[in-house]
Structure 1
Amino acid sequence: MTGFKADDIAKVCLEKFKSLPKNGKPENGKQWTVLAAFVQENQNEDQETMLKVVSLATGTTCIGSSQMDPTGKILHDCHAEVLARRAFTRYLFWEISKIQTSNNPSIFVHSEENKCLKLKEGISFHFYTSQTPCGDASIFPIKTQNFQKDSSFIVKKRAGTDDGSPCLKHRRLENLDDNFSGGLSYASENDLNRTGAKSVPGETADKLGEGLDYHEVGVLRIKPGRGIPTNSMSCSDKMLKWNLVGCQGSIISIVLNQPIYLKSIVIGKCTSNFQALQRALANRFDISGCENELKDSTFRHNRPEILLSGLEFEFSKPVSSDSLLKPCGSSFVWCDVLPCSCEVVAKNGYRLGAVKKTQGLPQSVCRVSRYSMFEQFTKVLQDLKMKNFATNVETELLPEMDYSQMKALSKCYLSTWKVLRNNCLENWLQHDRSLDNFTLDK
């Protein structure tokens, strides 16, 4: 159990967002977005604790499958939860680089025993998002409101969605109360809050029926694209993966002695359902059948505490389907590193402001792209060697490696994920492996 309340964690995230530059943030009164953040909890020897936001992002966009980039320089998935996680990895790189610096201590220490790094005692992490993650966590029963305006008795019924496009149905009421005068009248009806994310091939398809029969619960889903279908798994699915193999990612697992799991997940004030969140993010799949294959692994099935905050993000998606607010097209990314802690991402996955002739050049590539993360981690490994820290990586081979070869060094992470996919997540959509064959520019 975390010692902090949901509002404590949400508050530091909202305050950090407000303190950052306005460029890339939504326009007041015109746009909405989603905010997500990683929060570090530090506990000292006296058991005193403090919270610190270490990465933060906004965003709601995702590029289509035909636009995916083999150079690693374009961000494919710009949902806030995913960008915050990428920025969190960049923060971890930064902390590794601070090892052995007395004036700016790192959250990591080196273990000579297994040639790996480990988190210092008393360090843990929380995750915050202002809106229910897209996908399975967004599917839950709701009471819909029917609006009756005049004697034509046309009713607008709103079924909630998570992708910014309201789902409106019109139907004619029959057998109204004799006393109805054509004014306002409200009725309740069982329905589902809906997600725009579609079931992946091989999973049970949605029924698309009325009310509670619209969605299939518990299945793996891909994000809805705005036009071209995507190959990106929903945020509910990606967060489920964090609770199985950690939220540090694959390449940094090469130098860590164990994965980094979340202590809690905090959902801001929005339309949400506690049981759906628990199901989607932690309890959807039973991994007990994998225990023999994973018995010697440091990986486990993490079940973070799910907390609901009463604090609302100022740019949250409007509840009313009649709102004129539109989703913000750009994404804002920040992490606690120096220099260059902030950047803004355009819809096309490049840095905002990059003109067509510069796309693919260093000035257009975001620092949380796969290419940039590969470049940063290569420097991290070389830096560790210069500091005489032993690792399990032959740094002499780094200049000739492509990204897929770097990822392959994370043997324990990849073997664990393979076991989990084969036993529990057989239909998990994997991107084309050729997308990982890029190398760093000479």
Structure 2
Amino acid sequence: MLPSSTPAPPRYVDGAPWAEAASSAALRHYRSLPKKGKPQGRESTVLAAFLLSTPHDPRNPTVLSMATGTKCLGAARLSPRGDLVHDAHAEVIARRALLRHIYSEIGRDTPPEWLVASGDGGRWRLRDGHSLHLYITQLPCGVMPVPPSVSMSTREQLVSTNGCSDVDLVQRKPGRGDTTLSMSCFDKITRWSIAGIQGALLSHILEPLYLSTITFGQSPDGAPQGFSIENNIEKVLDARLSSVHSKLPASFRIRKPQFFEAPIPPKEFQQIAGDEAPLTCG
């Protein structure tokens, strides 16, 4: 049972309008940014954005943070001093930016509009009626691939997650050459569904922040007829979360986001393999 200070988020029954709204808000904000650092020519990248919806205008979300990125360091390149960023995937960098934004909001003289005092030891919480969302231009790494045919069984769809036959195992991000030690983005999303996105340090002054929805751009290649990517991602997440048997600490709970497919993103966010090797933007 949820505490009164953290009401359940609204359920988006009709996902198409919301997916369009989330992707439009993120891409509109991206286009407003300077050209420097964006893909050029044949380059491509992944875009991720955290958004906030309000009860006054739920179909017009505001972008809180945004990032692009596809790279992470291999194990051999990690620094013993801890002064290098290991994981620079878009979802991870966008979350880092969101945490910086939250620190800035809480540190202002004027209280933030979307965070309110919780009355629990001087902590803050998300204001009632407000919801956090994540938009990604493609499926997060670590999610099962789209099946090659509709003849694949449900069990095969469930357990085939980037070659991992056990959904209880933590998956490392795929690396080119040197193996990485970074958790896959989908494993991090799984963790956020239990512990929130705020991290350990912010948990001292902020109640857990959970995502209400995750929207991702459709692949240009599409999916086999009759195959629902949203439903299969939910099945994989359910299987991951089913291994959480122990009682969670106070204020934490399992909060599964809803998944939606948005329209195909612009070409600079499409990871298409062709005659020429795709180039990722640095």
TM-score over 0.5 (shorter chain) = yes
Aligned to 1:101: 110
Contact kept? 1:236, 1:280, Cα under 8 Å:
no
- 1:171-182 counterparts in 2 under 5 A? none
Identity %: 33
SS in 1 for 2:61: strand
Contact kept? 1:7, 1:311, Cα under 8 Å:
no
Go from structure 1 to structure 2 and tell me whether the alpha carbon gap of 1:282 and 1:88 turns closer, same or farther (over 3 Å shift).
farther
Count of residue pairs brought into register by the alignment: 256
State whether structure 2 residue 82 is matched by structure 1 residue 133.
Answer: no
Q: Which structure would you say has the larger Rg? A: 1
| 1:242-296 deviations in Å (ceiling 9; x for gaps) | 111111111111111x200001000112156223321334542315622xx32x6
Aligned to 1:286: 242
Q: Which runs of 5+ in 1 are unaligned?
A: 144-187, 199-205, 207-214, 331-442
Q: CA deviation at 1:33?
A: 0.9
4+ long deviations beyond 4 Å: 188-193
Structure (1 or 2) with the greater strand fraction: 1
Aligned to 1:260: 209
State whether structure 2 residue 76 is matched by structure 1 residue 66.
Answer: yes
What amino acid does structure 2 have at the position aligned with 1:284? Answer: R
Go from structure 1 to structure 2 and tell me whether the alpha carbon gap of 1:277 and 1:313 turns closer, same or farther (over 3 Å shift).
farther
Query: Once superposed, what is the RMSD of the aligned Cα atoms?
Result: 2.8
Q: Distance in 2 between matches of 1:77 and 1:101?
A: 33
What amino acid does structure 2 have at the position aligned with 1:22? Answer: K
State whether structure 2 residue 194 is matched by structure 1 residue 244.
Answer: yes
State whether structure 2 residue 94 is matched by structure 1 residue 84.
Answer: yes
| 1:339-394 deviations in Å (ceiling 9; x for gaps) | xxxxxxxxxxxxxxxxxxxxxxxxxxxxxxxxxxxxxxxxxxxxxxxxxxxxxxxx
What amino acid does structure 2 have at the position aligned with 1:124? Answer: S
Instruction: Return the match for 1:298 from 235, 251, 261.
Output: 251
| 1:76-99 deviations in Å (ceiling 9; x for gaps) | 10111111111111111111112x
Q: Distance in 2 between matches of 1:245 and 1:35?
A: 24
State whether structure 2 residue 126 is matched by structure 1 residue 119.
Answer: yes
What amino acid does structure 2 have at the position aligned with 1:10? Answer: S
What amino acid does structure 1 have at the position aligned with 2:235? Answer: R
Go from structure 1 to structure 2 and tell me whether the alpha carbon gap of 1:217 and 1:308 turns closer, same or farther (over 3 Å shift).
farther
Q: Distance in 2 between matches of 1:327 and 1:189?
A: 33
What amino acid does structure 1 have at the position aligned with 2:240? Answer: R
TM-score by length of 2: 0.80
Q: Which runs of 5+ in 2 are unaligned?
A: 1-10, 224-228
Q: CA deviation at 1:220?
A: 2.4
Aligned to 2:175: 225
Instruction: Return the match for 1:25 from 38, 46, 69.
Output: 38
Q: CA deviation at 1:106?
A: 4.0
Contact kept? 1:282, 1:302, Cα under 8 Å:
no
Instruction: Return the match for 2:62 from 47, 52, 62.
Output: 52
What amino acid does structure 1 have at the position aligned with 2:134? Answer: F
- 1:234-383 counterparts in 2 under 5 A? 234-256=184-206, 258-270=207-219, 273-287=229-243, 289-290=245-246, 293-294=247-248, 297-328=250-281, 330=282
| 1:107-130 deviations in Å (ceiling 9; x for gaps) | 222345522122222221110111
What amino acid does structure 1 have at the position aligned with 2:274? Answer: S
SS in 2 for 1:267: strand
What amino acid does structure 1 have at the position aligned with 2:44? Answer: W
Instruction: Return the match for 1:42 from 13, 34, 54.
Output: 54
Go from structure 1 to structure 2 and tell me whether the alpha carbon gap of 1:322 and 1:222 turns closer, same or farther (over 3 Å shift).
same
Contact kept? 1:31, 1:315, Cα under 8 Å:
yes
